[in-house]
Each structure stands twice: as structure tokens, then as C-alpha cells.
Amino acid sequence: MTSKTGPRSHRRPSPARGAFFLLGAALPVAAGVAIWLVGQHHTPEYTTGLFGEQGDAAVTLKARLGTALFGLAVVQLLLAAGMYARLPGRAAASSRIRITHRVIGWTAFLLSVPIAYHCVRTYGVETTDTRVHLHSIAGCALYGAFVAKVLVVRSRHLPGWLLPAAGSALFVAVGLLWYSAALWALNDYSVPGLP
């Protein structure tokens, strides 16, 4: 295919597109690093409550909220697959499914905020063992992936493959958080593969 400026494959990317791409890469990384730095330099307050619960009760509540968050992430994954006709025997989804995907996405984000706030305020970023190190990294990555997904959804200038990549990173981060904390707490402080 050709255009007035010649073959499409030989066109130079515009400086604005390159700057937007760099900004789109820098902001998610900055979000994750900022959370990491705040968590590293914060003095843990082990008595912090969550919706009136403290101690083990707060951990259990957070695990249940985290499980609900993971459930919403699974629904999001299925809705996204439906929107892009990736489910067997299904055509591309209607605008109603797109709106549902957006509403559930924002609901999941809002559900994650009190969980993350409690984690950072109560514990900060910890690297004492494999499980908590993985959990700390996944927590920071979650918000970096969220920023990336919002930027990619809003942009018409970025490659199309970035949206499923950002959505996948977000799903993996939620899954790792659930596995390393919610499942751990609900499974009598034990999960397979993590000491």
C-alpha cells in the first residue's frame, strides 16, 4: 500500500509519536518505582486497620477483598477475550460488553486501593523472603500496568499489540498478588511453591 509520501513501511515516525511512546513507557515505570520508593522509606505501622479490622482480622479481610479482586480480573480477561472475538464460536462483542468491561475495570481498581493502602501503610515494601518480595514487586507492577493500560486505551498513536500486553501484565500482577498474599492467608499461611 502506498500513500502520497511513498510506501508505508518507509515512512518515518513523527517526533510526536516517538515522544508519546516514550512518555507512555516512562509513566508506568515511574508509577511502579514511586510506590516501591514510598514503601521502602515508610516506617511500617503494624497496627493499621482496614475497615475497622486489625491484626489477623484485617489480614483475613484483605485476603477476601483480594480474592474478589482476582475474580473481577478473571471476568475482565473473559470480557476482553469476548470483545476481540477470541472466545470459540463468538463474534466480536457489542458496545454493552465494552461498557461492562470498563465499569468492572474501574470497580477492580477502586477495590485495589484500600488493599494497597493497607499493605503499604502496615508493612511498606518488604524483601525478607521470597513470598513477600514477590508480593511487593507485584504490587508495584500492578499500578504500573494499570497506568500503562489507561494510556494505551486512550491513545491512537501506539501499536495495537500494546493493549493486550498491558492488560495481560495487569492480570498477571493481580494473579501474583492473590497467590502470594490472599491465597497464602486463606490457606493457613501457606502456598505451594513459596516457602
Residue 12: inside a domain: no
Residue 91: inside a domain: yes
Residue pair 114/167 in contact (Cβ under 8 Å)? The answer is no
Residue 72: inside a domain: yes
Residue 126: inside a domain: yes
44-48, 92-96, 98-102, 103-107: which is most confident: 103-107
Phi, psi of 6 (to 5 degrees): 110, -170
Structural domain that includes position 168: 25-186
The predicted pLDDT at position 8 comes to 42
Q: What is the DSSP string of 60-81?
A: HHHHHHHHHHHHHHHHHHHHHH
Using 50, 70 and 90 to split pLDDT, how confident is the model at 91? low
Q: Where are the alpha helices (DSSP H) in the chain?
A: 15-41, 55-83, 95-122, 130-154, 162-177, 183-186
**Domain tally, the chain:** 1
Residue 192: inside a domain: no
pLDDT in tens, 145-189: 999 898 888 877 777 788 889 999 999 999 999 999 999 999 999
Residue 6: inside a domain: no
Residue 146: inside a domain: yes
What is the model's pTM?
Answer: 0.82
Q: How far apart are CA 140 and CA 112, in angstroms?
A: 12
The predicted pLDDT at position 20 comes to 64
Residue 179: inside a domain: yes
Q: How far apart are CA 33 and CA 184, in angstroms?
A: 25
